Structure 1
Amino acid sequence: MTARLLHPSAAAGGWDYDRVLNTAGAWLLALLWVAPLAYAVWTAFHPGAYATRFDLTAPLTLENFARAWEAAPFARYFLNSVLLVTLILAGQFILCTLAAFAFARFRFPGRDLVFVLVLVQLMIMPDILIVQNYQTMRALGLVDTILAIGLPYMASAFGIFLLRQTFLTVPKELDEAARVEGAGFLEVLWKVYVPLAAPTYLAYGLVSVSHHWNNFIWPLIITNSVETRPLTVGLSVFASTDQGVDWSVITAATLMTAGPLLVAFLLFQRQFVQSFMRAGVK
């Protein structure tokens, strides 16, 4: 009975090389991911003199977090980031849902061609469109606003594709039954399709929030004032000082910036993985 559960090579007294290699690779990747985070935590909670040396007797301190918080208006940066990711996610859910529903259930001339054009956007790096997006925001008079940061991302080709694939799996009988009961297209969408696609919405929402919370280049270019800067741009204040780089303060500010996403992932990692599995994201 036991031999049947083992790999053929292990049952014969040999090594299960595939399992050993997979385990070793997983540990290596885990160490590569944990090492920078461990260094950041160590540096942030110890005085600056211990930033470049490891000493178990080093005293713990929260002074670096206090200095980082006082050096820049982090409260405003946090508020801007929360408003930004909320605005983008709300816009994406609305626009992507309507577009995906149209591609999945309506038949109209040029539907396949338009959908191919949507997929083409997945092959275009957002940074390539920075100049055009900036010119558009300037023409609209939106430069240095939170809306200008989020507007270019409101329609997501990935979101449209993901939701369309999910909507195609919904049985048409449910659609027809709701129509027989007198429901309109929007009511069918809201009461039938959206609830059944909840795992996909959660999976996409986690990806969207993570990406736009960490986005740096576009917010840096389109904003000029403290009132509109998100956390990532505000963090650049700590890049250099007149006295040089203070790694303790920088890592403390970095942890405050990345902390919400790390805590959210640790709390909801099971739902995160299950959502992607149910949504069919590879």
Structure 2
Amino acid sequence: MKSTAPSRAQRLAYNEPTWLDALAAWLLALLWILPLAYAVWTAFHPSEYSTRFELSAPLTLENFSRAWQAAPFARYFLNTTALVLMILAAQLVLSTLAAYAFARYEFRGRNVAFALVLVQLMVMPDILVVENYKTMARLGLVDTLLAIGLPYFASAFAIFLLRQTFLGVPKELDEAARVEGAGPLQILWRVYVPLARPVYTAFALVSVSFHWNNFLWPLIVTNSVNARPLTVGLQVFSSVDQGVDWSIITAATLMTSAPLLVAFLLFQRQFVQSFMRAGIK
């Protein structure tokens, strides 16, 4: 009897994962989990066990207490939370308006303007550090949260995603809304924004993760505790004068990354569904 099991070509055609895909996924997961496992082990054990593994090693929370006392973490958490929310709010508002204009309005130079937006996706933010700093200095914003967030208020990535989503909305919905007396902004808010919720969720995850972990630009543009986020505050634990205590460093690192890790564990299903619906590969 002829076998009805799908061939390898058929499995690949339907994107069915093979054992090689599973092996690669497990190897990548192992590479990701090993540093995290080391950080967890070191953070919850005395410093003398940071370089050796013993099942009988005592557990302790002293490293977290010392790390919290060594730096103003409460202020760092407040700064980081305010920063990521400020950037995300500005990006969503500005990107929504820009994407709606590119998707539904005809104006001279529209394609050229959108091409310039796409060019921004190929420009690394680190290249613009010097010019951005000069701009912040002229505006008198150095060492403020606004100076950290202002260069990121407009997101080419968000504009691209939302434009592609808005283009898929039938124009008949616009006409029906106009018949009901809705204006352009009402149509945008009541028709387009609800249909793009998966895209907003997916982009919000990318934006919050990036700016929560951003280090170089906040380091350059801030000088005091009042404006420093968590990532910059961590450098106090690697001071040459004080030496390197890996137990305290890993404890501080876990406290910094804990909100993102907890959020992913709690909402991982929503994360994956949002990315799939948004078409992000």
One fold, TM greater than 0.5? yes
Match of 1:84 in 2: 83
Residues 116-156 of structure 1, C-alpha deviation per residue, up to 9 Å, x if partnerless? 00000001000000011001111111000000000000000
- Residues 185-241 of structure 1 show CA distances to partners (whole Å, capped at 9, x for unaligned) of 000000000000000000000000000000000000000000100000001111125
Matched residue pairs, number? 274
Gaps of 5+ in 1: 10-17
1:19: Cα distance to partner?
Answer: 2.5
Q: What is the match of residue 146 of structure 1?
A: 145
CA distance in 1, matches of 2:116, 2:23: 42
Where 2:66 maps in the other structure, the secondary structure is helix
* Secondary structure of the corresponding residue to residue 121 of structure 2: helix
The CA distance in 2 between the partners of 1:29 and 1:67, in whole Å, is 33
Residue 129 and residue 8 in structure 1: after superposition, are their counterparts in 2 closer, same or farther (change >3 A)? closer
Cα distance between partner residues in 2 of 1:243 and 1:170: 59
1:138 counterpart SS class:
helix
Q: Give the Cα–Cα distance (whole angstroms) in 2 for the partners of residues 58 and 218 of structure 1.
A: 40
Aligned AA (1:179): R
**1:4 offset after TM fit, Å?**
2.9
Task: Tell me the CA shift for residue 6 of structure 1.
Answer: 5.7
Cα shift at 1:71: 0.1
- Residue 27 of structure 1 and its aligned partner are, at CA, apart by 1.2
Residues 154-199 of structure 1 show CA distances to partners (whole Å, capped at 9, x for unaligned) of 0000010000001011111111100111100000000000000000
CA distance in 1: counterparts of 2:50 and 2:205, whole angstroms: 33
List alignment gaps of at least 5 residues for structure 2. 10-16
Aligned to 1:15: none
Q: TM-score, normalised by structure 1?
A: 0.94
Change beyond 3 A, Cα 1:136–1:20: same
Q: State how 1:1-282 maps to structure 2 within 5 Å.
A: 4-5=4-5, 7=7, 19-282=18-281
Structure 2 CA distance for aligned equivalents of residues 77 and 121 of structure 1 = 30
Distance 1:20 1:112 in 2: 44
Say which SS state the counterpart of residue 226 (structure 2) adopts: helix
How far residue 60 of structure 1 moved from its aligned partner, in angstroms, is 0.3
Normalised by the length of structure 2, the TM-score is 0.95
Partner Cα distance (1:201, 1:114) in 2:
23
Distance 1:169 1:8 in 2: 34
Aligned to 1:13: none
Secondary structure of 1:226's partner? coil
Q: Distance in 2 between matches of 1:189 and 1:53?
A: 59
Deviations 1:8-55 (A, max 9, x none): 69xxxxxxxx83322221111111000000000000000000000000
Q: Distance in 2 between matches of 1:47 and 1:121?
A: 47
* Partner Cα distance (1:166, 1:78) in 2: 34
The CA deviation at 1:106 is: 0.2
Letter in 2 for 1:264: A
After TM superposition, give the deviation of residue 5 of structure 1 in Å.
4.2
Identity score, percent:
74
Tell which deviates more after alignment, 159-168 or 235-244.
235-244
- How far apart are residue 242 of structure 1 and its match? 3.0
In the alignment, residue 213 of structure 1 is paired with which amino acid? W
